[in-house]
Structure 1
Amino acid sequence: MQLIIKQTPRFIIAEKPYGMTTHKVDDYKDGFKEFLEQKTGLDLAIVSRLDATTSGLILFPLKAFAGEINTSWQTDQTIKTYLFVTDRKAKTSETSIDVKSFIDQKGTEKVWYSNKTKPANAFSQFTFVSTISTDSGPLYLWQAQIKTGKTHQIRLHALDLGIPILGDTKYSGTPYFRLCLHCSELKIEGEVFTSKNPFAEMSNTYFPLIAEFEKRSRIYNVENQECFRWTHTEVSNGLLDQYGENLFFYVYFGNSDTAAMKQKTDVPKLKIETIEKAKSVTEWISSYFKKPVFLKPMYDRGKAPQKNELLRFQYADRKWSDDFAPMEWTAQENGLKFKLKSHQGQSPGLFLDQRENRKWVLHNSENKSVLNLFSYTSGFSVCAAVGKAKDVTTVDLSKSFIDWSKENFTLNELPPSPQFQFWSADTMHFMKGAINKNRKWDLIICDPPTFGRSDKGVFQIEKDVDLLLQNCFQCLNPGGQILFSTNFEKWNTEGLFQHVRKALPERSFKFVLEKTPYQSLDFDFPNQNQKMKSIFIKKIV
């Protein structure tokens, strides 16, 4: 994992992305520490913290060495260096400034204050680095070394000097899409660890997008043929997905903003208000990635009929087209191949937010009987089959999606076989038949839509999810699991856990609930309210 800069038998040095808390917020919102623990299998401790909005280097000792690492951390031999950006010019011409003050918390509020009249307990050294020219005026890059580790020390000392950090609205900074503070260097036990300056491209008009692209590049080494999300609501009203050789840019106009986009209404974003602006941004994206881009405008979702509009900007000849034949191509995920198609609704054939869940299925299906409900193009079914499942049953209402699923099986060298069954059927109707026939599975994957319609009736998740879960549980072998997920916007992760407990009362159903793998960090962070929620329901023997 590229986030880990150094791993020793005693500690980890990692690079925390901005927007991610250092540790868990509550039982349903984990932080960077818990994410690293799940990925590495290590038991980590905390000796220091970075604010959620701060990026950069952070040290986590293994718990067995927490005491001795904490002792090293508190000595003068440990040096922490930060970079920050402000839009305020310093009132002094000095380029190197020592700052000291008394820092303490204001009562029980999550706000701290700096007082220069009391004996100092916080010491920093600020050094001016450079001026950054931008379309909206000059910005100023500073370096800060802290000799103590008080909460919000750099932020408060910057405020004391009249140069509050850009994005630090808590301490009088100008609103921005992120707090422009980054831990760029750590020196501990004689060894120096460094991180790239994330503010180097701030003079570019599209810096908010560049920042997201570079943040993800620091986390993942994305190959050309892979599927990946390059922006996810953070900096604009657009989402950018990579499907192998093609990019898809979804721009949400009017009232079509997703719930995730509404979380940061106070943060200025790269607002794309017209189709002309969307096309201009698309052309820049194409040049940045050197790839063709499909532009998919999304208009007033839920309040007006969706226009099935799809534009394409071809990187090779720099031309637009809004009238082109449907295209098909192949992309990869977790080493598997998937068929993508240009004119098939909102997605070209793979829901990227399920990547880690599909990976789990790939590695946990061996010798299991697997049922995939609401299968779409059967990414989960392919993973189960390649993962040596005993048998795989795939169910979706759409015959065209079932045919597409079979294409994905063929792409992955999974020939037709009695162990692979495909059903074009209403899921609720299929489950009734399965119960009547006493069919059982070891793993049931269920990712229902919020709303669906068939000749058997209308499916609404709020109304029908209880019966759906109960039917799935009845069809589960002892010790088996349900992997249930939903994008229903009225539930958060905690709400999903609570609703499952309500749908499966303990007096009738014996089970334990477990967390699923964290989503990839190109989507929501573990500490954020996630659009796609998922849960394991394990039947107790």
Structure 2
Amino acid sequence: MDVGTIFPHFRDDWVVHRDDALLVIDKPAGIPSQAADPAHPDDVVTRLKAFGEPYLGVHQRLDQDTSGVMVFTRAREHNAALAGQFEGRHVEKRYIACVTGWPKGKDRVTLREKLVSEKDKKPKLAVTHVQVKKRNGPRALLELVLETGRMHQARVQLAHAGAPIAGDVLYGGEYAPRLLLHAQAISFVHPVSKKRVTYATQAPHDFDAWLAGGASREEMPRDGRVVASALDRAILRRYILGHSEGDTAFRLVHGEGDGLPGLVVDAYGNHLVAEFHMSDEHDGPSFRDRLLDRLAALGFDGVYVKRRPRQANTLVDTRRDDLAPREPVRGSAAPEEFAVLENGISYLVRLGDGLSTGIFLDQRENRARVRGLSGGLRVANLFSYTCAFSVAAALGGALSTASVDASMVALERGRANMLHLGLLPSDAHTFHAEDSFAWLARMARRGQKYDLIILDPPSYSKTRNRRFVAADDYPELVANALAVLDRGGRILACTNHRGISPGRFRKLVAKGAETARRQVRQMKDLALPREFPVAAGGEPHMKSVLLSLD
């Protein structure tokens, strides 16, 4: 597997123009203009330097999810000439945007209003000239000429006008595979020739496809070019993970958040696992085969498949071969069990052993938090599955860990995880094949106390003792956990129940604390890892709250 091919620094076809003075590129959506996290630089300048550009003068910014023309100077002596044009508003910047709700009869208007940015609280005038280029019912394609350059100018002004840009997560846009804003052309005086030049790009195919009526958050796009673009953007967004020596397991495609509803793709070392949410009516075998061919062409050694029912409350035999074949459907097989890295921690996984692999990748950041919080603490990990949280806690210096799960098979895999890292044998780390509610009741009767309790139950589960439904039973679970939580302790509470909103989940957790009559010092919402993007109009599938007691 060639990481540089799958996760390229940059590609030749993104270069619009290059001479001794200037570099003009067509920045793809998904690449930030500047590094959001200096410790993990994945911005366009960093990538261009890795591509072979020794010096670049930066004169403009585009939002990460905005595509289009960007210009850089390639020598310091040309900076002043180009910077002066930007500062003096002599550079013409032309964009296109897809919106819903643009009023009829306003085919040419100028939007003028004062905007306040987070960096500069003083209101500044923003001027955008708008022209309607195409219409299809309530949808419209607009051409925008930005006279000024305020932060999120076009996005804010169009949202204020009642026509937010499609795919805009921040400003209420209609669902789309991406933010449908593209910097199509830029005009200025060349610093060497002193002649006015214009550099332009083609409108991405996604724009016309959306305008024609495409894009549904429930169904995979049928347009092959739209699918290919969405997959390409998803890979661009995982550039840092793809090049990280400490991360070999991560989410590569996250369903509707990446413009591919019904498809989840995870990378495990040199192999992929593609998960389809079953619907032969919409995603028949031939369509899935074409998707799998695209995934196989990326350059990984093999591709495994999992098929899940669309109804989350449907309990199925997770080892059925028609749902989770033991062998890859494309390429070569991975070892039956092998190690992957997450934040530098080694975990054992199995790609051909049922619907789950041994680790839930959406808990990446929470495991890092648990590792950071666990020093010297007594930690209880309920619904522990293969004990990944317990591993993180033990490596973080936990005084003890107790892993509780109804499945002895899962706990044996957890024990193997601990042994694999040299954490066993140790009396400090115990494993309990038991219903979590029954275990909590037993610990409460014994007067046992813990400092950190992790609650990560499935949305629906059934044991010999009881049936658990997160939407109904989560307050009881929190209350029971609080009965064994010591003063000043914390609970990490999580749910991936898609029917529970973040706000409702906070209320369920708070209700549990109220039932237990424990004083809460803080309830903090925790964000998902950034490789789990949320689509416009959607909500995160995983909700996490860190509950801290006085």
Task: Pick one of 373, 398, 404 that aligns with 1:395.
Answer: 404
Task: Pick one of 276, 288, 292 that aligns with 1:282.
Answer: 292
Structure 1 partner of 2:111: 103
Structure 2 partner of 1:111: none
The verdict on how the C-alpha distance between 1:350 and 1:55 changes in structure 2, with shifts beyond 3 A counting, is farther
Structure 2 partner of 1:226: 248
Tell me, yes or no, if the aligned pair for 1:166 and 1:175 is still in contact at 8 Å. Answer: yes
Structure 2 partner of 1:212: 234
Structure 2 partner of 1:76: 87
Structure 2 partner of 1:455: 464
Structure 2 partner of 1:122: 127
Task: Pick one of 381, 386, 398 that aligns with 1:377.
Answer: 386
Q: Distance in 1 between matches of 2:391 and 2:438?
A: 24
> What letter is aligned with 2:276?
V
The verdict on how the C-alpha distance between 1:314 and 1:455 changes in structure 2, with shifts beyond 3 A counting, is closer
The verdict on how the C-alpha distance between 1:80 and 1:512 changes in structure 2, with shifts beyond 3 A counting, is farther
CA RMSD of aligned residues (A): 5.0
SS at match of 1:289: coil
Gaps of 5+ in 2: 1-6, 8-26, 42-59, 71-82, 99-106, 114-124, 132-140, 159-163, 187-200, 207-224
> What letter is aligned with 1:229?
R
Q: Distance in 1 between matches of 2:334 and 2:270?
A: 17
Q: Could you tell me how far 1:358 is from its partner in structure 2?
A: 0.2
> What letter is aligned with 1:524?
P
> What letter is aligned with 1:230?
L
> What letter is aligned with 1:181?
L
SS at match of 1:349: coil
SS at match of 1:251: strand
1:534 equivalenced with 2:539 (yes/no): no
Task: Pick one of 435, 440, 446 that aligns with 1:431.
Answer: 440
Deviations 1:323-362 (A, max 9, x none): x999222211111111111343322111111110001111
Structure 1 partner of 2:531: 522
The verdict on how the C-alpha distance between 1:338 and 1:79 changes in structure 2, with shifts beyond 3 A counting, is farther
Structure 2 partner of 1:25: none
Deviations 1:30-57 (A, max 9, x none): xx99x979999xxxxxxx9988964699
Structure 2 partner of 1:45: none
The verdict on how the C-alpha distance between 1:152 and 1:18 changes in structure 2, with shifts beyond 3 A counting, is farther
Q: Could you tell me how far 1:458 is from its partner in structure 2?
A: 2.0
Per the normalisation by structure 1, the TM-score is 0.64
Q: Distance in 1 between matches of 2:453 and 2:155?
A: 50
Structure 2 partner of 1:444: 453
Q: Distance in 2 between matches of 1:376 and 1:350?
A: 8
Q: Could you tell me how far 1:513 is from its partner in structure 2?
A: 3.1
> What letter is aligned with 1:232?
H
Structure 2 partner of 1:94: none
> What letter is aligned with 2:294?
W
Q: Could you tell me how far 1:525 is from its partner in structure 2?
A: 4.5
Q: Distance in 2 between matches of 1:152 and 1:104?
A: 11
Task: Pick one of 217, 229, 248 that aligns with 2:273.
Answer: 248
Tell me, yes or no, if the aligned pair for 2:304 and 2:352 is still in contact at 8 Å. Answer: no
> What letter is aligned with 1:293?
V
Per the normalisation by structure 2, the TM-score is 0.63
> What letter is aligned with 2:300?
K
Deviations 1:153-194 (A, max 9, x none): 59999xxxxxx99979xxxx99952234256999xxxxxxxx
The verdict on how the C-alpha distance between 1:466 and 1:472 changes in structure 2, with shifts beyond 3 A counting, is same
Tell me, yes or no, if the aligned pair for 1:255 and 1:299 is still in contact at 8 Å. Answer: no
Task: Pick one of 282, 297, 304 that aligns with 1:294.
Answer: 304
The verdict on how the C-alpha distance between 1:368 and 1:73 changes in structure 2, with shifts beyond 3 A counting, is farther
Q: Could you tell me how far 1:146 is from its partner in structure 2?
A: 4.0
Structure 2 partner of 1:179: 179
Q: Could you tell me how far 1:254 is from its partner in structure 2?
A: 2.3
The verdict on how the C-alpha distance between 1:238 and 1:81 changes in structure 2, with shifts beyond 3 A counting, is farther
Tell me, yes or no, if the aligned pair for 1:230 and 1:240 is still in contact at 8 Å. Answer: yes
Tell me, yes or no, if the aligned pair for 1:365 and 1:389 is still in contact at 8 Å. Answer: yes
The verdict on how the C-alpha distance between 1:284 and 1:453 changes in structure 2, with shifts beyond 3 A counting, is same
Select between 212-221 and 438-447 the one with higher mean Cα deviation. 212-221
